[in-house]
Amino acid sequence: MKKQILFLLVFITGTISAFAQHKLDYPFQNPALSVSARVNDLVSRLTLEEKVNQMLNSTPAIDRLGIPPYDWWNESLHGVARTKYPTTSYPQAIGMAATFDVNAMKEMGDFTSDEGRAIHNESLRKKDYSRYTGLTYWTPNINIFRDPRWGRGQETYGEDPFLTASIGTAFVEGLQGNDPKYLKAAACAKHYAIHSGPESSRHTFDVNVSNHDLWDTYLPAFKQLVVNAKVAGVMCAYNAYQGQPCCGNDKLMVDILRNQWHFKGYVTSDCGAIDDFYQTHKMFPDAESSSADAVLHGTDVECGDHTYKTLIQALKDGKLTEKDIDVSLKRLFTIRFRLGLFDPVSMVKYAKIPITNLESQPHKDLALKMARESIVLLRNKPYGDEKNNVLPLSKNIGRIAVLGPNADNANTQLGNYNGHPSVVTTVLQGIKSKLKNADIFYSKATDFVSDEPQDFSKLIDSIKDADVIIYVGGISPRLEGEEMKVSKPGFSGGDRTSIALPTVQTDFLKALKATGKPVVFVMMTGSAVAIPWEEENVPAIINAWYGGEAAGTAVADILFGNYSPSGRLPVTFYKSDSDLPPFEDYSMKNRTYRYFKGEALYPFGFGLSYATFNYSDLKLTKTKIKKNESVDADVTVTNRGKVASDEVVQLYLTHLAGGADVPLYSLKGFKRINLAPGASEKVKFTITPDMMKLVNSDGKSVLNSGDIRISIAGSLPSQRSRELGSAKAVDAILTVQ
């Protein structure tokens, strides 16, 4: 060990000495100095015009100082996106949340920044400084998916603050790396804050949520990523909050982000958000006043190319000072120095990652693993007089019909904010790989939506001899997404006007049922879909999200029993539109599993398996505690089934005193385990005082005296979960004195 340390010191000293032998024109070029000293020196040498140009997302070179161009805008939502190189594509964010697998998520972040570094390194070699070659990724999207109609909900980690914070933290830690000096890449928590549609009014709406909802729902994930995960960047949202645009908001940007959370990183606007200050929010008369206000509130980068250019005139007019601009410049260059962008390649281990790292086998293996883990089995019943459930299917099937608009649709699988892998395996291709000798009939069968009644008789006649029918439908990222020019039944502008499965698909499934053949419905979606008829009438239903490059293989593995399904819903699947409050209402009343008082079609955390799990022997180390004490809860989980399977063990707290602002349930822990048939494992959770706190009407977290029900299960511990086949939860009462 001592020899290793000595070698490392010699290597570092030698590297710095070798670098020092080259003429250093300026102190900021000297890697032996601290980052702050280098940043201060660099910023002091810039002209006002140079400073302002460095505050746009696409920064020009400063040739006289040897500063190359840099574009802050890059994306890596579920793999490096929008690049000219082929990259590994993991499941869409909502699908990765459905894995409830923080270890896989951290590894995904690590692999993604490997590929991002490889592209950046190759781009530098070619002197390519174009967009999507930098190391500042505007990811993750940790907004709360409060309403399933929001088209961008697919980019989030679901409706729960704890799950969102946990998955988001794992991603940030993986992406940014663990080097004590250098960031591997820079993550960015977005969109800060209280931003989840509608897309049509995102540039104009002014949210005024209660302090309770702000701190109970909308801010916890941001706080976790800023305070604990040390995320490098934050993106402020388009909308306004309490009368001020988010990027120029006293409470959000100054009081909370900088003063309470002590955020030291950089803030970028969403693209065009500073324009909105005067163009749509009408808060200021012109670009000059808007840009000054945004900078004074701590927005360091404008994603745009013109509004911040008026900062030169704003300074001349006394609306801010050059010192105010310097504050932003220092934050921005600190990130670039921490990324090692001004140091010799020999000093930055990440700068050596080669382009051959793209789509390496471990990355592709993880994409398949996460696709498998994301798939949620919603229903699995016997068909007709059969004793066994429809799934898994036999590989000895003679004739199978594979139908639907997503059966052979690589475009849907890749979601949005996506990369373009060399190979995408569709469901049809995945099934063909399993059934080498079967007669496979394929037809797109239906569009996603239709304005006209459809005649399915000819197609139905073509599949009358099929042993089993697989319909791969759902919706598409070409229908739901960011501010889209889409207007079709059930969809408008990227959002959904109805959460119901499009009528043409339900009608087709009814026709398939009438054939008398067993039907499997594989649904791809980025959000919750209401399928009450299907739940009653289709024996097997799988939710596959937008599963990335390996989705087809993963679905086939589930269908034919190569993998036991283990995904869990990160959102509530409601029964109908009537369950939802108005889309524009940001109050959490009757929203998400935490406050919804109705009966869900499929509850949060729900997902079936090919195994059968039993929960027993819940024990608390104490049943009465003081407010400053923690307590351990352990439970025995047993696989009573015939196949090995993963299980997602979930911990929920319920404060029995209740109250209008008290959640019905709160997820406070989860662990993914694997059990062989007949095997048991004792799973332990530590419940801390912070986990037991409630947010009061003032937005303060307080721990009240009283009884708390501790529930551990494989789903939300509700009656509906048990009706659908989840194992019964085990409960215990903890008294806080």
**Rounded Cα gap, residues 425 and 378, in angstroms:** 23
Give the active site residue among 110, 122, 147, 270.
270
**Rounded Cα gap, residues 513 and 719, in angstroms:** 29
Residue 66 Cα distances to 25, 42, 662, angstroms: 10, 11, 57
Give the active site residue among 480, 495, 549, 557.
480
**Rounded Cα gap, residues 418 and 155, in angstroms:** 10
* Sequence-ordered strand ranges (E) for 398-539: 399-403, 439-443, 468-474, 487-488, 491-492, 495-496, 519-524
Note if 270 is an active site residue.
yes
Three-state DSSP at 266 gives strand
Q: Do residues 304 and 271 touch, judged by C-beta distance below 8 A? A: yes
Q: Do residues 115 and 357 touch, judged by C-beta distance below 8 A? A: yes
* Beta pairing class for 240-241 and 206-207: parallel
Token output for 105: 């998520």
Q: Do residues 603 and 615 touch, judged by C-beta distance below 8 A? A: no
Count how many Cα atoms sit within 13 Å of the Cα of residue 612 in the half-sphere of its side chain: 7
**Rounded Cα gap, residues 495 and 416, in angstroms:** 14
**Rounded Cα gap, residues 137 and 75, in angstroms:** 5
Amino acid at 90: Y
Note if 480 is an active site residue.
yes
Q: Phi and psi (nearest 5°) for 684? A: -120, 140
Distance of CA 666 to the CA centre of its chain: 20
Contacts 24+ apart (CB under 8 A), 666-671: 666/162, 666/594, 667/160, 667/162, 667/163, 667/604, 667/605, 668/162, 670/100, 670/163, 670/166
For 297-362, the three-class secondary structure string (H helix, E strand, C coil) is CCCCEECCCCHHHHHHHHHHCCCCCHHHHHHHHHHHHHHHHHCCCCCCHHHCHHHHCCHHHCCCHH
Count how many Cα atoms sit within 13 Å of the Cα of residue 207 in the half-sphere of its side chain: 31
Distance of CA 722 to the CA centre of its chain: 28
Distance of CA 696 to the CA centre of its chain: 28
Q: Do residues 521 and 540 touch, judged by C-beta distance below 8 A? A: yes
Q: Which residues are catalytic?
A: 270, 480
